Chains A and B, each alone.
Chain A
Amino acid sequence: MSLLELTNISKHFGGVRALHDIDMTVDQGEVVALIGDNGAGKSTLVKIVSGVESPDSGEIRVRGESARLVSPRAAAEAGIRTVFQDLSLCDNLDAVQNLFLGQERSGSVLTGRRIRRHVMEEQAQRILESLSVKLRSLHTPVVALSGGQRQGIAICRALISDPAVVILDEPTAALGVSQRGEVLDLIGRLREQGRGVVVISHDMKDVRHIADRVVVLRLGTKVAEFRRGEYTPSDLVSAMTGAHEEGGDL
């Protein structure tokens, strides 16, 4: 049984066909890379799976059960969490406050919803450790942290609700070499935890390094799918650009 299963997903914006009959699965402990040129439909597909947009047709199954992802909240409740490229962190808040933003552990109305900081800190510590994200202090505003650490906090935030599937939008873009390695390790640890991971990326090197499977989109359709080790970089490029259609199609 797949953690996430998309069948015949289509989406139109006015007369423009953004996605056409997309099939895709994500299994337990599997990293699936989603690649494609600009305008290939990656963002639209991510928005549909994260509940920001609704598909015109097609079915989404999470852990085998049909799911209607009408809002980001509904997607989160179904077990799908998305880390967007801009990370959506509040720079002036510290790591713990960011991790629990919008889902703080707090006391009753009588105390004015007093923050139970000790509970949050303990959970934060556990989740950060589970992905080996190292911070000098939990009290530092995240603006003072490195790009890799910020990405780590954004991913850990997705894990607060223990999702089955984590979607990462361009997690390594705009990172230095060492931080990029750090984030790729993070993705590896998500896989070890048995979660399904979808990574949207532009970077062929990262994709080859981390992905168990690669799904290639072009002009709103899925043009190819490769398993680890069954493709060369030029296969990916030709599938993305449509240089020779039959390249490595299954």
Chain B
Amino acid sequence: MSVATETAARTPASRVIELAGRGHRSIPVLVVLAIIWAVFYSQSSAYLSFRNITNLTLQIATTAILALGVVFVLLVGEIDLSSAVLSGVCAAIAAGLAVNSGLPLPVAIAVAIASGMAITLIEALVITFGVPSLIVTLGGMVILQGLILVVLPPEFTVSVAGTSFAKIASTAVPAGTSYVLAALGTLAFALYKAYQYRERLSTGARTSPVSVVVPAALVAAVLFGGVYILTRQRGLPMPVLIVAVMLLIAWYFTTQTRYGIHLYAVGGDREAAQRAGIPVRRMVVYSFLILGACAAVAGMVDASRQLGVSVTSGAGPLMLNAIAAAVVGGTSLFGGRGSIWSAILGALVIGSISNGVQLLGLTTEVQYFATGSVLIIAVAVDVVLTRGSLWPGRRS
């Protein structure tokens, strides 16, 4: 074998690239995040105060939820530009039903989610028919901008202040309950890892209890640390809990199930996936359905936080921020590479920049310059990792 000689000939730089290209993609993002936090903290110690971190998590919740949906679409090698406006449409539907028509909140939420999925289903069917997703969702975005005018009442705004709808975002889970949830989460994860450990032992595979203890300790640290920081004010904000639950479900299905393998296979090589008997088109449709549900949830959380829906809901930088978050977090635009963690990590990076810029009272230009630069650098890193070499025209 020539493997040994190949490895020896590699430079340290290319070895780092190779390592980072293999599933350790969260590490560069965490490094970038640490740098951003260090820079802003050196300018203002209020940046890493409990109050500001809690604030930050509320600010990024909408972007993170939408980015999660976008990750599913990027993983199958498609793109979406319409989901931010769709989130506005779904929020308008939910607020209209709950506030103006007086329907129970759960019904309104269910209808909004179903509407979001129905709209992305139509888009997905056109895409699997053969029209590029860029065009379908670009056209879809414009159509949805019209649709939100139809859905909103004549005054083009629904106020949800003082209603049960507003409680979605303003509810805070008491500290005690939050700690119990964190403990339950840790316990469930540890038990699952232990179950996997026993499964592996039963086949005589090489394994050690470290594969249970280390991940469980990591999850415990993140959950309890998060709860400790975020309950300093009033309790754990509901949007944070929503994001956490959605990430948990997405993690299970993308990494532990047959669906997950097929999702990555379709993004990696459609031809090969098709030959292996995977229903490629159906997988694309599933991704868009998930995006539709995420968009609806993101829209409702946002409307609840802004205390209303208007024509500008879902407009502005939300769409680009969600795509940028997914990509900055390490999900490839070319499909098949990335993880659901990129949604939350990328949203944290982008949110941390805008939060810091506002905290320091810097001008909006600075925020745009910084966010744009981080996005381009992140895609450049993705290109290098996908290519496996620092310079163009070489492959490892």
- Using CB atoms and an 8 Å cutoff, list the residues of chain A in contact with chain B: 72-73, 84, 86, 88-93, 97, 101-104, 106, 111-119, 121-122, 134, 136, 139-141, 143-144, 146, 148, 176, 178-179, 182
Contacts and interface: CB of A to CB of B under 8 A. Distances in A.
Contacts, number: 103
Given A90-B268, A92-B268, A115 B199 contact: no
B203 A90 contact: no
A92 B200 contact: no
Nearest to A134: B1
Given A93-B264, A118-B199, A122-B205, A144 B257 contact: no
B278 interface: yes
A115 B276 contact: no
Contact of B257 (A106, A136, A140, A178): A106
Contacts of B275: 72, 84, 88
Name the residue among B200, B205, B268 with the largest chain A CB count within 10 angstroms.
B268
A114 B268 contact: no
A92 B267 contact: yes
B265 interface: yes
A93 B203 contact: no
Contacts of B278: 101-102
B118 to A, nearest CB: 23
B130 interface: no
B3 A92 contact: no
A179 B2 CA distance: 9
A140 B200 CA distance: 19
Interface in B269-296: 269, 271-273, 275-278
Given A90-B264, A118-B202, A101 B273 contact: yes
A112 B248 CA distance: 14
Contacts of B267: 92
7 contacts: A73-B277, A88-B269, A88-B276, A92-B269, A93-B264, A112-B256, A146-B1
A96 to B, nearest CB: 10
B252 interface: yes
B384 to A, nearest CB: 15
Interface residues of B, number: 38
A141 B196 CA distance: 22
A104 B265 CA distance: 12
Contacts of B203: 118-119, 121-122
A134 B4 CA distance: 13
Contact of B200 (A72, A93, A115, A118): A118
Contact of B336 (A73, A90, A116): A90
Contacts of B2: 146, 176, 178-179
A125 to B, nearest CB: 8
Interface in B192-232: 196, 199-200, 202-205
B246 to A, nearest CB: 15
A136 B259 contact: no
Given A92-B267, A93-B264, 9 more contacts: A84-B275, A88-B275, A101-B265, A113-B257, A114-B256, A115-B256, A118-B196, A118-B199, A178-B1
Contact of A115 (B21, B257, B268, B273): B257
A127 to B, nearest CB: 14
Contacts of B199: 116-118
Interface in B232-256: 252-253, 256
A51 B127 CA distance: 29
B138 interface: no
Contacts of A122: 203-205
B283 to A, nearest CB: 12
B255 to A, nearest CB: 9
B77 to A, nearest CB: 11
* Nearest 8 interchain pairs by C-beta: A102-B276, A92-B268, A90-B268, A102-B277, A88-B272, A101-B276, A92-B336, A113-B258
B261 interface: yes
A121 B1 contact: no
A136 to B, nearest CB: 7
Contacts of A91: 268-269, 336
Contact of A89 (B252, B260, B272): B272
B163 to A, nearest CB: 35
Contacts of A136: 3
A116 B258 CA distance: 9
B338 to A, nearest CB: 10
Contacts of B273: 90, 101-102
B253 A112 contact: yes
Contacts of B205: 118, 121-122
A166 to B, nearest CB: 16
Contacts of A112: 252-253, 256-257, 259
A52 to B, nearest CB: 10
Contacts of A97: 261, 264-265
Contacts of A90: 264-265, 268-269, 272-273, 336
Contacts of B1: 134, 146, 148, 178, 182
Nearest to A145: B3
Contact of A92 (B257, B271, B337, B396): B337
Contacts of A139: 23
Contacts of B336: 90-92
A81 B347 CA distance: 46
B271 to A, nearest CB: 7
